[in-house]
Chains A and B, each alone.
Chain A
Amino acid sequence: MAHPTVTLTPEQIDELGRELDAIKLRLVNDLGQADRDYIYRVIKAQRALEVAGRAAFYLGFLPPFWLAGVAALSLSKILDNMEIGHNVMHGQYDWMRNPALNSKKFEWDTACPGDQWRHSHNYMHHTFTNILGKDRDIGYGVLRMDESQKWNAYYLGNPLYAFALMVFFQYGVMLHDLEAENLIAGTTKWSDTEELRRGMLQKAGRQTLKDYVLFPALTGPLFLSTLAGNAAANLIRNVWAYSIIFCGHFPSGVATFTQEETENESRGAWYVRQMMGSANITGSRLFHILSGNLSHQIEHHLFPDIPARRYPQIAAEVQALCEKYGLPYNTGRFTKQIGSTWAKIFRLAVPFGRRGQQDTPPAVTVVPENLPAAA
């Protein structure tokens, strides 16, 4: 079967929407002390790892301490960016009315200014998920991640660009809102980006000052050792964040959508698109926490503003709904998901790249109820 097709009636899609709305309402009504305690436990762990990591560099001339410092600081940045930053900035904890955990006020330990991220990610990506020409997260304006992106010679460098993006991920995320592809195409003007650039310079400046000037200087003669440790921690966070995020929408079997198919989309159809356009990763509890529960990308895209610790609790229910309606629930081990993502990056570098059979994303066909479901 080259193109697996899911056939649903509009009534079925509405029914699915109602069932998902009911799950969300149940979660919202249950938010409280347990969610508050959870996020504070994670924050406490992150801050403790950060302080421990910074302290370990004072003994950085001893390799085990330097390595421990890198490990602790990497974990700190990973927790800060993923389970705390990404999720807080989604408004998952706005109900707490705590200014320090407010989506509009939170800043994370990375180069990208929070307000720019909220626009490009929370609004653009989460609203127009996987719609070609609208969701700039399909290839982030620099990569070819879908067959429908027209090939040209530039994309021969696809693996190289992906590798560079992985290594410098925090700066890639920062520059995302500049919309480089639109600047090159001339649809936006460089002068229009002045405010964005000022915000980036300020945020990246503060981060650079902290990681590459102040903390190294505070360790005196160990300046270079601490600087290298901080750079290593940033690199490890970059590789980890890139890998988890690329597993969210790029593994084989994830569907993309055209603007025409998503016009006048109902709430139920929006849910269907989120489920078909996202992929999960299986793993241990610690793995899920370190991925910011983006390993539950499907649940996250259904309910981006519900605290992420709730996603594992509802995963079985969401999967059962997918089965009930014949929708795919794309999940797999980390190695499988990231492997198929890199395979896609290489395959789409060339114009004639063919996808394997299991790589073909399913399509949803909406049929009026009175027609028999097509075989």
Chain B
Amino acid sequence: MTVRVQEGDFDIGAEVRRITAGRTDIGAIVTFTGTVRDSNDSAPLASMTLEHYPGMTERELAQVEAEALQRWPLQASLIVHRIGTLKPGDNIVLVVTASAHRQDAFASAEFLMDYLKTRAPFWKNEVGADGAKVWVDARETDDRAAERWSKR
């Protein structure tokens, strides 16, 4: 179980190899990668800068991961989130879950992303193609996506 916040890019293949190295009990690996879109609400995007709350970020992500472990029998999980300035097409976030069967890996990866989106203290500041800077607004759809896990 690992949580990392970093400026640099990540290599999905290398991360998965690190998780599976030396073990044969894993039957399913799900990876989710979030990337920077070239537009937000139809406005063209030049770049975005991700700010976070050092300390609380790691703490929240570790807590979300611990909660996933209580709900699903995971053999491994990984959350990597980038900070700093990113351009369209760049990777932002990686979630990897590994379990014996695919249902647990799929469900827990979705859970981790939904909770990360509503709880982890990151903020996106977008720079438009016209040079205008805008703080991204939180989406209600993200709150609803996270809420459905608490109804179970």
Q: Do the two chains bind?
A: no
